[in-house]
Structure 1
Amino acid sequence: MNGSIQVSGLGKSYKRYASHRDRLLEWLLPFAGARHETIHVLQDISFAVAPGQALGIIGVNGAGKSTLLKMITGTAAPTRGSVAMHGRVAAMLELGMGFHPDFTGRQNVFMSGQLIGLTMDELHALMPEIEAFAEIGDYIDQPVRVYSSGMQMRLAFAVATAKRPDVLIVDEALSVGDAYFQHKSFERIRAFRTQGTTLLIVSHDKSAIQSVCDRAILLERGRVSKEGPPEEIMDYYNAMIAEKENQTVRQEATDSGKLATISGTGEASVTDIAILDAKGERAEMLAAGAPATLRIEVAIRADIGNLTLGIRIKDRLGQNIFGTNTHHMGQPIGAVQAGQRLTVDFAFPLDLGVGSYSVATALHSADTHLVDNYEWRDLALVFNVMNLNLPYFEGCTWLAPALSIQRHEGSA
């Protein structure tokens, strides 16, 4: 069966009373007028996830992401609107949700497994695989109350995904795991996607959203602020995080039709950017492993005590391949004055894999744009890499490996 999600006009609100007396008086005297303030957590949320699609939901803390997922999965009732889901659903909303602390991991597997629709026979058959995937060893027969948060997450994820669901819903629970298990979990999620599972995921992890999802939604103050391709939405979200009162965030269409996000206070800005080949000429197509120079022209519009220029190279999915800035390279630009123009060159061998790449630029003070964001510009430049001279290789980078083979005589 194919899974799908349809959310229509969903809203969640609650009443806030100044005192218990007001609550009682409103109940006793319903015609005397309201004595509460209505707080809206979510308002008019509508979207659809078709069978086999993956949707990412992002937003700052308090935007309503977790409340939305609870209403979708039925653990919280909406004030208005409706949710329609088809197919068997597996959800990971809260760490170890449904686990009893005094029961062993094995006992909790059977209890929580039945809650997601698995039969006892299925759970007995799946238990060896669940144990192997969770990798918690003898702790499987220890009370869950002695588990670390990472162990709880491992076991909860192993149970929820022991049998491929039609719909998989994942909140930020995976973020508590170690790097190894996060990789392992997302590999299983990607495998489910290729097999047709519909995915709804909430995460602040840009790479996770962009590598797994087809679309993304930005929640802001309980409403859908933007919806579109994951890279576009994540770029806007990151710019919004850095925004301050005197900054602006805007999006401009590029020649390729994509929306480039630009934010900042404007004291400095990039006026031109180009990637140059070995001859020093502008290029859109370059050879893997060849010398290249990223040349950036900067206009200074106000006196700045300490200017930093940063670059970030991203692949076609918007995932970060490489980033640095003049501060981290130990060559700070320092103080600049209004009216000055700068030419900054980053020279490097283009040891990238075949594909399309984009460059983002950042002008700020100190080591990060979160301090003073003069300008952040995504999709400032797009270029392509082809393999013209190197041996065949796969992946996003050329490592130039040195190969050594030794032959040894005798029996093994």
Structure 2
Amino acid sequence: MTTQIVVEKLGKAYRQYKNNYSKLKTIIFASKNPDNFKRKWVIKDVSFSIGPGEAVGIIGINGAGKSTLLKLITGTVSSTEGSIKLQGRVAALLELGMGFHPDFTGRQNIYMAGQLIGLSVNEINRNIKQIIEFSEIEEYIDQPVRVYSSGMQVRLAFSVATAIRPDILIIDEALSVGDAYFQHKSFERIRKFKELGTTLLLVSHDKQAIQSICDRAILISGGAKVMEGTPEEVLDHYNALIADTSPRKTPPVKVVDPVVSENKKDKNKVQLTSGTGEVELINIALTDDEDRQIEVVKVGQTVVLKLTVLAHEVLKELVIGYVIKDRYGREIFGTNTHYFNKTLLDVQKDEQISYEFKFPANIGEGNYSVSIAAHMGSSHVVKNFLWKDVAIVFNVINADYETFIGSSWIPPIIECSR
């Protein structure tokens, strides 16, 4: 397999001058005297490669260096060290309306932006009709882009960038601006390109997008690559990174804190446990409505998720939540006691608390896992006592209902008249 993107020991540093005189002296005399400035590294020693038809997601907290990394790869920013090799035609959506002139019409900007990504005028002429149709802004196409909404701009930008299937498609959060319909439409085109061999590099905070499209994911923190692996594994570590895993501050490139541990649940699953440790999960089970523990669930069957936690410290408040994920790591459903006004206050040290979450398993056939969180507030990001991935696994079969596809059982009432 011919590799289409190769990044080796890539680094980007910006100079921070002591004062304007130091900056002037450096510019005039081309001085490299380190006494005049210091380097601020925003990307450091990043390496990875991607083959044709592969999709890789870049994730990380704001300011981690994700967008800078993509700008280095596309050549809009020069690197300080390292190398980048790209093979094939590249199309990139790095910023909303990038390459658009606000006073030019949408049609004029199609030609300008198209040529910026390497399309010839003849290629644009042959594809302009489908570019306009895909963007669905025909009635505005001859108006200045400055009157476009952000959603209209991203529609047009995506339509231009994907008018002809690129060898490499790079997207930085741009599609998060469009409406839900256009996002579905865009991701369907991306999936089709991927099947045809397009290499995809995607930066997104949308975990569902990363999990459903990408084959691998890379976690960036403090400008460094700290993890590369399956989307599910990397997103679990990302959750641990953004959670308050310790009362002290940890280095920006350190993901697995001493209170974060992992073990192999089975050969395909990595189980991650993180948190400050005030709460321990001591028991968890999935039962039917007759209190029998089960591992196989029928579609629509009423089940009870039972768990017991132990408080190792006095807690001002305690919220318990869970997330059901499919085998690709995509979140099917999640909630917590905060949203149901069941937050416990003034939990005592060594107190054991049992919870039962009763619900109908209106989900499709397949394997599912449940992740458990104990925290303060509405989310484990606020104050994370405990996060345990793959705390329990179960299988869903369809034994009683009509055949259906998808992750949810939503039976219709069908009427037919002639």
Q: More displaced, 394-403 or 134-143?
A: 394-403
Structure 2 CA distance for aligned equivalents of residues 214 and 119 of structure 1: 32
Structure 1 CA distance for aligned equivalents of residues 32 and 320 of structure 2: 64
User: What CA deviation, in whole Å up to 9, does each residue of 1:309-361 have, x standing for no partner?
Assistant: 11111111111111111221233333321112122111122111000111111
Equivalence for 1:132: 133
User: What CA deviation, in whole Å up to 9, does each residue of 1:130-176 have, x standing for no partner?
Assistant: 11111113211011122222211110000000111111000011122
Equivalence for 1:237: 238
1:285 pairs, out of 263, 283, 296, with 296
Structure 1 CA distance for aligned equivalents of residues 205 and 389 of structure 2: 18
Structure 1 CA distance for aligned equivalents of residues 329 and 280 of structure 2: 22
Mapping of residues 72-221 of structure 1, within 5 Å:
72-221=73-222
Relative to structure 1, the CA distance from residue 179 to residue 223 in structure 2 (aligned partners, 3 Å threshold; closer, same or farther) is same
Q: Is the 8 A contact 1:104 1:141 kept in 2?
A: yes
Structure 2 CA distance for aligned equivalents of residues 29 and 211 of structure 1: 49
The Cα of 1:381 is off from its aligned counterpart by 1.1
What amino acid sits opposite 1:79 in the alignment?
T
Relative to structure 1, the CA distance from residue 33 to residue 122 in structure 2 (aligned partners, 3 Å threshold; closer, same or farther) is closer
2:264 pairs, out of 241, 254, 258, with 254
Q: How many residues were matched structurally?
A: 407
Structure 2 CA distance for aligned equivalents of residues 212 and 31 of structure 1: 45
Q: Is the 8 A contact 1:3 1:167 kept in 2?
A: no
Structure 1 CA distance for aligned equivalents of residues 329 and 273 of structure 2: 15
Gap regions ≥5 residues in structure 2 = 249-256
Equivalence for 1:302: 313
Structure 2 CA distance for aligned equivalents of residues 132 and 87 of structure 1: 27
Structure 2 CA distance for aligned equivalents of residues 22 and 161 of structure 1: 46
The Cα of 1:29 is off from its aligned counterpart by 9.0
What amino acid sits opposite 1:396 in the alignment?
S
Equivalence for 1:6: 6
Residue aligned with 2:72, SS: helix
Equivalence for 2:378: 367
Q: Is the 8 A contact 1:2 1:196 kept in 2?
A: no
Q: Is the 8 A contact 1:54 1:213 kept in 2?
A: yes
Equivalence for 2:253: none
Structure 1 CA distance for aligned equivalents of residues 47 and 359 of structure 2: 47
The Cα of 1:254 is off from its aligned counterpart by 3.1
1:20 aligns with 2:20: yes
Q: More displaced, 260-269 or 156-165?
A: 260-269
Structure 1 CA distance for aligned equivalents of residues 374 and 412 of structure 2: 35
Residue aligned with 1:328, SS: helix
Structure 2 CA distance for aligned equivalents of residues 205 and 238 of structure 1: 13
TM-score by length of 2: 0.92
1:265 aligns with 2:266: no
Give the RMSD, CA atoms, in angstroms.
Answer: 1.9
Equivalence for 2:366: 355
Q: More displaced, 27-36 or 290-299?
A: 27-36
Relative to structure 1, the CA distance from residue 33 to residue 10 in structure 2 (aligned partners, 3 Å threshold; closer, same or farther) is closer
Equivalence for 2:347: 336
Residue aligned with 1:159, SS: helix
The Cα of 1:366 is off from its aligned counterpart by 3.0
Residue aligned with 1:255, SS: strand
What amino acid sits opposite 1:320 in the alignment?
E
Q: Is the 8 A contact 1:308 1:334 kept in 2?
A: no
Q: More displaced, 336-345 or 218-227?
A: 336-345
Structure 2 CA distance for aligned equivalents of residues 343 and 33 of structure 1: 61
Residue aligned with 1:344, SS: strand
Q: Is the 8 A contact 1:250 1:262 kept in 2?
A: yes
Structure 2 CA distance for aligned equivalents of residues 125 and 325 of structure 1: 53
Gap regions ≥5 residues in structure 1 = none
Q: Is the 8 A contact 1:353 1:395 kept in 2?
A: yes
The Cα of 1:57 is off from its aligned counterpart by 0.5
Q: Is the 8 A contact 2:244 2:382 kept in 1?
A: no
The Cα of 1:365 is off from its aligned counterpart by 2.2
The Cα of 1:287 is off from its aligned counterpart by 1.6
Structure 1 CA distance for aligned equivalents of residues 16 and 36 of structure 2: 9
1:66 aligns with 2:77: no
The Cα of 1:305 is off from its aligned counterpart by 2.6
Equivalence for 1:379: 390
Q: Is the 8 A contact 2:298 2:398 kept in 1?
A: yes
Equivalence for 1:392: 403
Q: Is the 8 A contact 1:365 1:372 kept in 2?
A: yes
The Cα of 1:10 is off from its aligned counterpart by 0.8
Residue aligned with 1:253, SS: strand
The Cα of 1:363 is off from its aligned counterpart by 0.9
Residue aligned with 1:379, SS: strand
Relative to structure 1, the CA distance from residue 50 to residue 365 in structure 2 (aligned partners, 3 Å threshold; closer, same or farther) is same
Structure 2 CA distance for aligned equivalents of residues 285 and 165 of structure 1: 44
The Cα of 1:125 is off from its aligned counterpart by 1.7
Structure 2 CA distance for aligned equivalents of residues 244 and 370 of structure 1: 9
Q: Is the 8 A contact 1:326 1:332 kept in 2?
A: yes
Structure 1 CA distance for aligned equivalents of residues 265 and 17 of structure 2: 54
What amino acid sits opposite 1:304 in the alignment?
L
Relative to structure 1, the CA distance from residue 79 to residue 127 in structure 2 (aligned partners, 3 Å threshold; closer, same or farther) is same
The Cα of 1:294 is off from its aligned counterpart by 0.7
Q: Is the 8 A contact 2:58 2:203 kept in 1?
A: yes
